[in-house]
C-alpha cells in the first residue's frame, strides 16, 4: 500500500471567533474518535496531520494542500463547514471521509458531498478506507461496522494528538476519556436507545487513568461515555485502584437517578467536581430524573436533590429541553423559574427540542406528523434553531417564554445568587463566565432577535410556519458570515436537506438506506425497560 498523506480534522466548532467561553473551553471539547483514527492511520504506515478546529485556527493554513485523504469528524452544526471543506480538498485531489454525529444522523445527505461516509467505525472500517482510498462520486460510499467498536487505542497511543489540542487551552485543561459505548435502556428520544451497552476493558481504563497521572499533577478528566455510571461500582473501583485520593478531578454527565447520597459520597471521594444531569421537562421524561411526579411536585423534589448534590459536588449543570410535547401554557416556564429560585447554585442549560435526522426512533413520529422544518444543519445545535414545530405553542408565544426564562436565569440577580450557592472558586468563576458569555447573555440576545424577526420579517415567520422552504436572508447571511471565504466552496444544494429522509428510508430501499437502517438506526428491538438513568436527550451544554 502506498504511503498516504492523511489529514484528520476534528470540528469542535462551526465558525471562527469563538466567544470568551469558547476560547477557554473549545480545546477541552475535542472528540476521541478522530484521535483513534489518527493512531490507526499511523499504525498502517501513513503520514498524519491532525488538526482540532477550535475556532482560533486558520483551517487552510493548518491543513497541507496536497493531502491524499482527509477525514473530517463533524457534528451536524458543522455539516456545512465540512461540506465546503470536502469540496475544496477534493478540488485539490484529495479523497474525503466524513464521520461523527452528522454522519450517523444524516448519512443520506452526507454521501452527496463525501467519498465515504462512516457510521460505527472500527479499525477494520478504517483499514478498508485506507486500502481503497478512491473517489466515489457523485454519491459516496456509506460504510458502517455492525456495532460500536470493542476497543479503541489507549490514551497513551492517542496522546500525540491530545497533547497539542490541550496546549491550545489557555487555563483549564480537560483530558477526554471513554469507558463505554451505548446504553442498556431504550428511551425513544435518545441516539443510544438502539445501541447495545458495552464497556471497554476495565484494565484499559485503569491504564489510561494511570497514564494521565504521568502527564498532569492534578488532571481533570472529562468523561464522554454516553451513559456514565451504568456500572458505577466497576468505574469507581477502576479509579480507586490507580488514582491516589486527591490526585484527579472528574466531570461527567450523569442523571439524578444515579446520584443517590451514597454514590455522591463515593464520587466526592474520587474527585468528581462537576456533574451534568438531565431534568428535561417538568412534565415529560419523568423516567430520566427517576420521578413519577410532575409539575411543582417535581420541581420541589428535583430542587432538593440538586441542592443535596451541591453539598458533595461543587459544580452542577442542569439540562432542560424546551418545547417538549408534554408542555403547554405558561406553567412549564414558570416552574423552571421557581427551580432557579429554589436551586440558585445550579447552572441551567436549555436546549430547544431538536430532531437530528435518524438519531432517535422518536424522530420518525415528528416526521410522520409533518412537524419538521428544513433549517440548514448549521443552525442545528439545540440553540440556533428549533427544527420541530412545537405542539402546544405558537412560535411567538414559545419564543416569548424562551426569552423570558433565559433572561430570568441569567439576570444579574440570578448570577449573583449563584456565587454564594457554589462552594469553591473555579465553579463560581465558571458560572459567571458562562452567564456573561455565549451561553447566558449570548443566548438572550440571539433568542430576542428571533422573537423580533417573527414580528418584523415575514420571510422568517413563513419559514417557521412551514409555509415556504425559501431560507430567510437572516439565516443565509449568518451562514455566509460564519463560513467566510469557505462559503464559496459550499457545493450546490449543500444548504438544503430533506428533513424527512429517515422516514422515507423506512419505506424506500436504496442500498445506502438498507445498510443505514441496519446499522445506525438500530441493531435490536426496543426492550420495554424502565430507564434507570439518562444522559442525552438534553445534550451536554459545555460546547
Ligand atoms: C460526549 C458528548 C459530548 C461532549 C464531547 C463531544 C465530542 N467532541 O465528542 C461535549 C460535552 C463536548 C458535547 C458537546 C455537544 N454535543 Co454532544 N454528545 C456527546 C455524547 C453523549 C457522546 C458522544 C461520544 O463521544 N461518543 C463516543 C464515540 C466514540 O461514539 P460515537 O459518537 O457514537 O462515534 C462513533 C461514530 O460516529 C464514529 N465517529 C465518531 N467521530 C468520528 C470521526 C471520524 C473522522 C470518523 C471517520 C468516525 C467517527 O466512530 C464512533 C465509533 O463507532 C453524544 C450522545 C451519544 N450517545 O452519542 C452527544 C451528541 C453527540 N451531542 C450532541 C450535541 C447536539 C452536542 C452540542 C451541539 C450541544 C450544545 N448545544 O452545545 C455540542 C456540540 C459540540 C461539537 N463538537 O460540535 C448530539 C449530536 C447531534 C448531531 N447530529 O449533531 C448528540 C448525538 C446527543 C443528542 N442530542 O442526540 N457532546
Ligand atoms: S436517555 Fe440515557 S438511559 Fe435512556 S437510552 Fe439514552 S443514554 Fe440510555
Q: What is the pLDDT of residue 264?
A: 96
Whether the pTM exceeds 0.85: the reply is: yes
Give the Å distance between the CA of 75 and the centre of ligand 1: 7
Please give the angle made by the CA atoms of 174, 120 and 114, to the nearest 5 degrees.
95
Structure-derived torsion over alpha carbons of residues 453, 392, 106, 161, reported in degrees to the nearest 10:
80
Per-residue pLDDT for 344 more than 80?
Answer: yes
126 burial (CB, 10 Å; 0-12 / 13-18 / 19+) is: buried
Residue 535 confidence class, pLDDT cut points 50, 70, 90: very low
**Strands 47-53 and 69-74, sheet pairing:** unpaired
Task: Confirm or reject: Cβ of 41 under 6 Å from ligand 1.
Answer: no
Residue 285 confidence class, pLDDT cut points 50, 70, 90: low
Structure-derived torsion over alpha carbons of residues 492, 496, 500, 506, reported in degrees to the nearest 10:
20
Best probe residue, ligand 2, of 179, 180, 187 (max atoms within 8 Å of C-beta): 187
Residue 258 confidence class, pLDDT cut points 50, 70, 90: confident
What single string gives the DSSP state of each residue in 104-132? HH-HHHHTTT-SEEESS--HHHHHHHHHH
Best probe residue, ligand 2, of 351, 536, 537, 540 (max atoms within 8 Å of C-beta): 536
Per-residue pLDDT for 278 more than 70?
Answer: yes
Per-residue pLDDT for 540 more than 50?
Answer: no
Per-residue pLDDT for 436 more than 60?
Answer: yes
CA distances (Å), origin 379, targets 14, 130, 165, 471: 10, 32, 25, 12
Structure-derived torsion over alpha carbons of residues 198, 200, 205, 208, reported in degrees to the nearest 10:
-130
Give the Å distance between the CA of 460 and the centre of ligand 2: 34
Give the Å distance between the CA of 282 and the centre of ligand 2: 18
Exposure string for 152-169, b = 16+ CB within 10 A, e = fewer: bbbbbbbbebbeebbebb
Q: What is the pLDDT of residue 374?
A: 98
Per-residue pLDDT for 539 more than 50?
Answer: no
Q: What is the pLDDT of residue 510?
A: 55
Taking alpha carbons only, the member of 202, 173, 186, 235 closest to residue 29 is: 173
Amino acid at each position: 500500500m502506498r504511503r498516504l498523506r492523511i489529514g484528520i480534522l476534528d470540528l469542535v466548532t462551526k465558525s471562527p471567533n469563538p466567544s470568551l467561553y469558547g476560547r477557554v473551553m473549545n480545546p477541552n471539547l475535542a472528540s476521541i474518535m478522530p484521535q483513534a483514527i489518527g493512531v490507526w492511520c499511523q499504525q498502517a504506515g501513513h503520514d498524519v496531520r491532525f488538526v482540532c478546529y477550535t475556532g482560533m485556527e486558520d483551517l487552510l493554513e493548518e491543513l497541507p494542500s496536497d493531502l491524499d485523504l482527509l477525514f473530517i469528524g463533524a457534528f451536524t452544526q458543522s455539516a456545512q463547514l465540512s461540506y465546503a471543506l470536502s469540496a475544496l480538498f477534493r478540488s485539490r485531489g484529495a479523497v474525503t471521509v466524513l464521520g461523527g454525529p452528522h454522519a450517523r444522523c444524516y448519512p443520506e445527505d452526507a454521501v452527496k458531498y463525501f467519498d465515504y461516509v462512516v457510521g460505527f467505525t472500527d479499525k477494520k472500517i478504517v483499514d478498508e478506507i485506507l486500502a481503497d482510498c478512491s473517489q466515489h462520486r457523485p454519491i459516496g460510499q456509506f460504510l458502517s461496522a455492525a456495532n460500536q467498536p470493542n476497543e479503541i487505542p489507549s490514551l497513551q497511543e492517542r496522546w500525540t494528538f491530545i497533547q497539542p489540542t490541550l496546549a491550545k487551552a489557555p487555563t483549564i485543561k480537560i483530558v477526554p476519556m471513554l469507558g463505554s459505548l451505548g446504553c442498556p435502556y431504550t428511551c425513544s428520544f435518545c441516539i443510544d436507545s438502539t445501541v447495545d451497552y458495552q464497556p471497554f476493558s476495565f484494565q484499559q481504563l485503569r491504564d489510561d487513568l494511570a497514564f494521565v497521572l504521568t502527564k498532569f499533577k492534578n488532571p481533570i478528566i472529562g468523561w464522554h461515555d454516553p451513559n456514565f455510571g451504568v456500572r458505577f461500582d466497576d468505574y469507581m473501583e477502576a479509579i480507586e485502584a490507580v488514582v491516589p485520593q486527591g490526585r484527579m478531578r472528574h466531570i461527567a454527565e450523569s442523571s439524578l437517578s444515579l446520584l443517590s447520597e451514597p454514590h455522591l459520597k463515593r464520587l466526592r471521594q474520587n474527585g468528581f467536581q462537576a456533574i451534568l444531569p438531565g431534568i428535561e421537562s417538568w412534565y415529560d421524561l419523568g423516567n430520566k430524573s427517576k420521578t413519577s411526579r410532575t409539575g411543582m411536585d417535581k420541581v420541589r423534589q428535583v430542587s432538593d436533590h440538586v441542592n443535596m448534590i451541591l453539598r458533595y459536588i461543587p459544580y452542577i449543570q442542569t439540562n432542560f429541553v424546551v418545547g417538549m410535547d408534554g408542555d403547554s401554557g405558561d406553567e412549564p416556564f414558570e416552574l423552571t423559574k421557581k427551580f432557579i429560585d429554589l436551586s440558585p447554585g445550579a447552572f441551567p442549560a436549555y436546549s430547544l427540542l431538536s430532531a437530528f435526522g435518524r438519531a432517535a426512533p422518536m424522530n420518525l413520529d415528528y416526521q410522520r406528523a409533518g412537524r419538521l422544518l428544513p433549517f440548514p444543519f448549521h443552525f442545528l445545535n439545540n440553540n440556533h434553531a428549533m427544527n420541530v414545530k412545537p405542539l402546544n405553542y405558537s412560535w411567538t408565544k414559545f419564543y416569548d417564554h424562551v426569552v423570558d426564562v433565559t433572561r430570568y436565569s441569567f439576570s444579574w440577580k440570578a448570577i449573583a445568587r449563584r456565587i454564594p450557592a457554589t462552594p469553591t472558586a473555579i465553579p463560581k468563576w465558571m458560572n459567571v463566565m458562562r452567564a456573561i458569555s455565549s451561553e447566558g447573555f449570548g443566548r438572550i440576545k440571539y433568542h430576542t432577535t428571533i422573537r423580533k424577526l417573527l414580528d418584523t420579517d415575514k420571510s422568517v415567520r413563513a419559514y417557521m410556519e412551514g409555509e415556504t422552504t425559501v431560507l430567510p436572508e437572516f439565516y443565509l447571511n449568518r451562514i455566509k458570515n460564519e463560513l467566510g471565504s469557505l462559503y464559496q466552496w459550499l457545493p450546490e444544494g449543500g444548504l438544503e436537506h430533506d428533513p424527512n429522509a429517515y422516514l422515507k428510508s423506512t419505506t424506500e430501499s436504496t442500498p445506502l438506506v438498507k445498510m443505514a437502517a441496519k446499522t445506525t438506526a438500530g441493531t435490536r428491538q426496543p426492550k420495554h425497560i424502565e430507564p434507570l438513568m439518562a444522559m442525552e436527550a438534553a445534550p451536554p451544554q459545555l460546547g
